[in-house]
Amino acid sequence: MHNGNDFTTYERLPNPIRIQLGNKTCVFATHHGSVRVQDHQIDALHTPSFRYSLLSVAELDSQGYHTKFGNGKCSIQNSNVTVMTGSRNGQLFQVEPINSRHARSNPFACQTDRSNPFALLSTAESHLWHKRLAHLNHVSMKSLVDGYVPTDICEVCILAKHERKIIRVPVLRTTTPFELVHSDTCGPFNTKSHSGGLHFIVFIDDYTRHTTVYILLDKRAESCISAFQSLKARIESWGYTIKRFRCDNGREEYDNTLFRRILAGSGISFEPSPPYTQHKNGVAERMIGTLIEKARAMMLDSQAPKQFWGGSNLNRKLKY
């Protein structure tokens, strides 16, 4: 039994009883007592974590009851006297109420009690519950609504839940340092850094994954270009040149006339990702996620004030 209110007598067990179900999962009975089913009292166990009320044929047999099945009907007898009857519903047999009075009190009745787990809802009722629960998936619906029957293909679910298929094509890594540089920006943050920044920009070398981070006061083209020129000068001092620059198509920071002219004047190929395809700039996106997680962990560990998220200098260089 799953509902303690159906018991006429009710006592706590000294120790919970472990019951293994047909699907190999287990529930525990915490109380025992008597339950009135039709015109007969039977001994039952209370399993609060199990939502169903079941009669065990094996347990009835051990208590001296005789159970007969045939032609979609079942009868439970005690001393050749029929004490309970039922009929087949799917793969289970359910005990039937004898009259309306018993139907209201019978915990195993399902024809008049919609809360019984074996009473199947109609297609219209199932679809109504599906809509009430914001088009919840069928597996979760079955666990929440007794008797739920999966409806036909739901067009609303298809329109609301379909996801874009991302075609992942392996990309060969470059063979020369700074041949390809990935970049992206992040911000604004709610709290200004110690140096007054609200954004940061990352530059990642495709070959070595060497990462440089600049804290920015804003995300205007001039700020991003200043950071890029600083990076470009440093790379050239190391004896390398940038040949390709990959980023998203942010028009404020990257896709503008001034930045394009600087790239063209330096012979650098501009490779912005198409609109709404952030995965095309995945190297920079993943690095930003890594940096934020590490910064958050260090801030929580040190209990530093929030304004120190960017350090005390405008420029920060990190290598992974």
Classify residue 111: in a domain, yes or no. no
Classify residue 110: in a domain, yes or no. no
Whether 114 contacts 146, CB under 8 Å:
yes
CATH number at residue 51: 2.40.70
pLDDT digits (tens, 9 = 90+) for 225-279: 899 999 999 999 999 999 999 988 777 788 788 888 989 999 999 988 877 677 7
The domain of 136 spans 123-161
| Among 50-59, 69-78, 280-289, 306-315, the least confident range | 306-315
3-state secondary structure 40-67: EEEEEEECCCCCCCCCCHHHHHHCCCEE
Residue 212's pLDDT is what? 93
Do residues 144 and 242 both lie within one domain?
no
CATH number at residue 244: 3.30.420.10
Do residues 64 and 153 both lie within one domain?
no
Most confident of 21-35, 96-110, 121-135, 165-179: 121-135
Q: Is residue 129's pLDDT more than 80?
A: yes
Do residues 28 and 135 both lie within one domain?
no
How many structural domains compose the chain? 3
Q: Provide mean pLDDT across the span 3-32.
A: 79
Residue 235's pLDDT is what? 93
Pairing of strands 199-205, 210-216: antiparallel
Do residues 157 and 192 both lie within one domain?
no
Contacts of 225 (CB under 8 A, 6+ apart): 258, 259, 262
Higher pLDDT, 182 or 148: 182
Classify residue 171: in a domain, yes or no. no
Q: What is the CA radius of gyration of the chain?
A: 34
Residue 152's pLDDT is what? 72
Contacts of 246 (CB under 8 A, 6+ apart): 180, 181, 182, 183, 206, 271, 272, 273, 281, 283, 284
Do residues 101 and 137 both lie within one domain?
no
Classify residue 168: in a domain, yes or no. no
| Among 78-82, 166-170, 299-303, the least confident range | 166-170
Do residues 204 and 291 both lie within one domain?
yes
